Structure 1
Amino acid sequence: MAFILRQSTRCLPTTSRLAVVRSVSCSSHLQAPAVQAKTKKTLGKPGVKNVVVVEGVRTPFLLSGTTFSDLMPHDLARTALQGLLNRTNIPREAVDYIVYGTVIQEVKTSNVAREAALGAGFSNKTPAHTVTMACISSNQAMTTGVGLIASGQCDVVVAGGVEFMSDVPIRHSRKMRKAMLSLNKAKTIGQKLALASRIRPDYFAPELPAVAEFSTSETMGHSADRLAAAFSVSRVEQDEYALRSHTLAKKAQDAGYLSDIIPYKVPGKDTVEKDNGIRPTSMEQMGKLKPAFVKPYGTVTAANSSFLTDGASAVLLMSEEKALAMGYKPKAYLRDFVYVSQDPKDQLLLGPTYGTPKVLEKAGLTLADIDAFEFHEAFAGQILANMKAMESEWFAQNYMGRKTKVGAPPMEKFNSWGGSLSLGHPFAATGCRLVMAAAHRLRKEGGQYGLVAACAAGGQGHAMIVEAYPQ
């Protein structure tokens, strides 16, 4: 709590809103930026293989409990993999390795990468493994692929992520699990009856999953509310930002910009072709919602938080040399990236603040060099708290060991096709969506560099530079 108390009294300006927050209005940034001339140098490095994104796809991101509710995680992952194969026409045997991310694992398919790959028709000779790193799991999958290619181990890697919140595992209590395991080992009916007689009613209480930190036992929503309070982010500011996200996402959806989505014919149901969580409303309607976590005075609500989502994504990564040899025109280069980690109690969601300056410095770029910012929107309050942290000289000097502030991204370049608040957030699938959004925006807007950043449970974070491929 020391961080919060000091932060709330010393780090912030006395005015209730920073200039960066004032710029987050719903009406002033709906136009796409003007096409920019490409005058910047490339980030290719001598002696290091260029790794490119050839293509990326995703299933529609759907609210949990809706059309995908009767499926399993590997169904969504398989569909994304099949969609990638169909869109690229790459021979299955040309893929050297598959890496997939997931957060809440289905125990029947613990290595969902392998099960989905087999289901999608990949060769049983193609290795596949699953990674987990909370909301940056597919970021980890992609950078694992980058490492495999850059080191010369592979030429072609498929990376992706899947999350299925419609059917999360619910466990028996530990007492019941121990009793059931003992019963399974009992050899005689007498032994079984004796063990069964020890079972008490409280054994039957299930252990329900929660989006909570193991180290602090605090739900992420509570952490978001405390972070918003520490940085003086008001309820109105959060609702304004959430409305901006939904408004921009709807515009992008209507304009056909969300081209990474592949239609999915759900067995026994209709074909799903678009995300179903995009719901522009009004400030008045959003203002009627009660706090979701810290009651009655909290500012985080269902309307300014990302929602539980089902979905999967996949990207095709290659060495540039291999992609060109196979006749592909890549979408973008994946360049420098960093992972960061902070205190999960007071700085749980500040990954972008810490990751952004590190990846810029590593790449030799400045904030002004970035044409498209794609940050994961866990909560509106989280995004705005990061913006204020980036604009704070005091925070930079006292918590980041920096002489000057990071500086906040200009909102006209920031998440201009919507974000996780509106498009949805299947935990392990979001990273690939961020990278493809950056790549597509750069091509559409004529920019050269994109910066992808995300926070994750455990106080971790990720940031990466995406460079547009010459058209």
Structure 2
Amino acid sequence: MRGREVVIADAVRTPIGRGHPEKGYYRDRHASTLLAHTYTALLERSGLPSDRVGDVVAGCGSQFGEQGRNIARNAWLEGGHSLTVAGMTLDRQCGAGQEGVAVSAALIASGIQDITIGSGVEHMGHLSFQAIQETAQRWGDPYSAALRARYPLVSQGQSSELMAQHWGLSRTELDEFALRSHRRAEHATGAGWFANEVVPVTIEEEVVTRDQGIRPDTSMDKLAALRPAFDENGSTTAGNASQVSDGAAAVLLASREMAGEHGLAARARIVDHVAVGVDPVLMLSGPIDATRRLLQRQGLSAQDIDRYEVNEAFATVPLAWMRELGVEADRVNVAGGAIALGHPLGCTGARLFATLLNELERSDGQFGIVTMCCAGGLGTATLIERLP
């Protein structure tokens, strides 16, 4: 990243809850409260006074209802932190949390700020896809007639079916990938790989640390029994797509100089970030172009990267990405992904930094990439380098 060097001091997340209005962890908890929990955890873990933070930036996919009116600032105030810190909420759809980190890093690289927090949040149990549809019906379709005339827009699920057709991905391949996600996530949980990123949440006197969506008892037979969700002859199901979820995550960033001055760890540095546009119909292909552009700008090959976090919005996404980039599965989502852990839309991008950072440290890796597909035909990719 051009300008001043930006380091990652810490990254945390809540346990991811099911986005279910009755069975989800956070059914009785406000979205702002989830995000506030991560801000407080970062400050407590680092010992940093809250008035030393220059700005907080949060990504959020559905900015209405309890997630409206600048949830970044609202969560900061809810946590009882310094009134002098502003706060900004942005929308890059599914990549909003990742963009929250990228914008926070850019503020430091440019010299505008010295210390920032990039974050993301989504409470899909409260603001469901149905609520989004009802809002559009009452207040207007976000896609104008002119835009729809220009592009034959489809849902992300339908785009997943187009991905499967384009890359010749079979239902069996998708289900195998989904099963692997659950098994990897279960192994990572049992082995304590998430222990340094998950900040416990107390729910009805129970301390919760485990992601709610992991299904250790799933199998190929159970996955095969699920009906296609978007096309009766298709291959994308609820089992090989990401889960509707609730959660929040936050990343503490600083210039190298300010990290040293305030005794903050310099665990990794932000090397570069890109966001690209792709076909808004075949919208899930964004990570392919974003990763290629990122590697090209840095003069690196796909084989130079030790670990990848490719968001599992649908199994078609990482499978097509691996096929195009020629990357082996043992370097991709080694602790599972959104199919098992869940995908709180605005949260996931920030969550992936926490997972990648800890995985690079665990595996003694150097370079890692976070990449995501986003609604509307967007792809995001960020390269980080672990520091000794």
Equivalent residue, structure 2, for 1:50: 5
> Moved runs in structure 1, 4+ residues, more than 4 A?
169-178, 213-217
| Contact map agreement 1:373 1:409 (CA 8 A) in 2 | no
Q: 1:86 to 1:175 in 2, by over 3 A?
A: closer
Equivalent residue, structure 1, for 2:144: none
Shift of 1:382: 2.2
Equivalent residue, structure 1, for 2:25: 67
CA RMSD in angstroms comes to: 2.1
The partner residue of 1:348 within 283, 292, 297 is 283
The one-letter amino acid of 1:129's match is: M
Residue 417 in structure 1 maps to residue 335 in structure 2: yes
Residue by residue over 1:149-190, the C-alpha shift from the partner in whole angstroms, topping out at 9 and shown as x without a partner, is: 011111000110000011114686889779xxxxxxxxxxxx
Shift of 1:217: 4.8
Query: What is the DSSP-based 3-state SS (H/G/I as helix, E as strand, rest coil) of the residue aligned with 1:450?
Result: strand
Residue by residue over 1:204-233, the C-alpha shift from the partner in whole angstroms, topping out at 9 and shown as x without a partner, is: xxx9xxxxx976452211110121122110
Q: 1:98 to 1:173 in 2, by over 3 A?
A: closer
State the distance in 1 between where 2:8 and 2:83 align.
24
Residue 155 in structure 1 maps to residue 114 in structure 2: yes
Shift of 1:428: 0.8
State the distance in 1 between where 2:206 and 2:368 align.
36
Percent identity, aligned pairs only, is 35
| Contact map agreement 1:73 1:106 (CA 8 A) in 2 | no
The partner residue of 2:182 within 242, 246, 258 is 246
The one-letter amino acid of 1:141's match is: G
Residue 301 in structure 1 maps to residue 301 in structure 2: no
Query: What is the DSSP-based 3-state SS (H/G/I as helix, E as strand, rest coil) of the residue aligned with 2:231?
Result: coil
State the distance in 1 between where 2:135 and 2:32 align.
27
Moved more, 65-74 or 316-325: 65-74
Residue 465 in structure 1 maps to residue 376 in structure 2: no
State the distance in 2 between where 1:175 and 1:361 align.
43
The one-letter amino acid of 1:93's match is: D
| Contact map agreement 1:158 1:314 (CA 8 A) in 2 | yes
The partner residue of 2:84 within 125, 135, 140 is 125
State the distance in 2 between where 1:172 and 1:54 align.
41
Residue 97 in structure 1 maps to residue 55 in structure 2: yes
Q: 1:217 to 1:153 in 2, by over 3 A?
A: same
Q: 1:231 to 1:174 in 2, by over 3 A?
A: closer
The partner residue of 1:383 within 318, 324, 328 is 318
Query: Number of paired residues?
Result: 372
| Contact map agreement 1:331 1:440 (CA 8 A) in 2 | no
The partner residue of 2:202 within 258, 265, 269 is 265
The partner residue of 2:101 within 129, 138, 142 is 142
> What are the equivalent positions in structure 2 for 1:71-470 lying under 5 Å apart?
71-108=29-66, 109-168=68-127, 169=131, 216-258=152-194, 259-266=196-203, 268=204, 270-280=206-216, 281-295=218-232, 297-345=233-281, 347-388=282-323, 390=324, 407-470=325-388
Shift of 1:234: 0.3
| Contact map agreement 2:175 2:224 (CA 8 A) in 1 | yes
Query: What is the DSSP-based 3-state SS (H/G/I as helix, E as strand, rest coil) of the residue aligned with 2:275?
Result: strand
| Contact map agreement 2:72 2:89 (CA 8 A) in 1 | yes
TM-score w.r.t. length of structure 1: 0.75
Unaligned runs of 5+ in 2: 142-146
State the distance in 2 between where 1:175 and 1:437 align.
37
Unaligned runs of 5+ in 1: 1-43, 179-206, 208-212, 391-406
Query: What is the DSSP-based 3-state SS (H/G/I as helix, E as strand, rest coil) of the residue aligned with 1:350?
Result: helix
Shift of 1:50: 1.0
State the distance in 1 between where 2:9 and 2:114 align.
12
| Contact map agreement 2:10 2:265 (CA 8 A) in 1 | no
Equivalent residue, structure 2, for 1:5: none
| Contact map agreement 2:25 2:212 (CA 8 A) in 1 | no
Query: What is the DSSP-based 3-state SS (H/G/I as helix, E as strand, rest coil) of the residue aligned with 2:283?
Result: coil
Shift of 1:106: 3.2
The one-letter amino acid of 1:230's match is: H
State the distance in 2 between where 1:173 and 1:312 align.
23
TM-score w.r.t. length of structure 2: 0.91
Structure with the greater alpha carbon radius of gyration: 1
| Contact map agreement 1:92 1:121 (CA 8 A) in 2 | no
The one-letter amino acid of 1:339's match is: A
Shift of 1:298: 0.9
Equivalent residue, structure 2, for 1:37: none
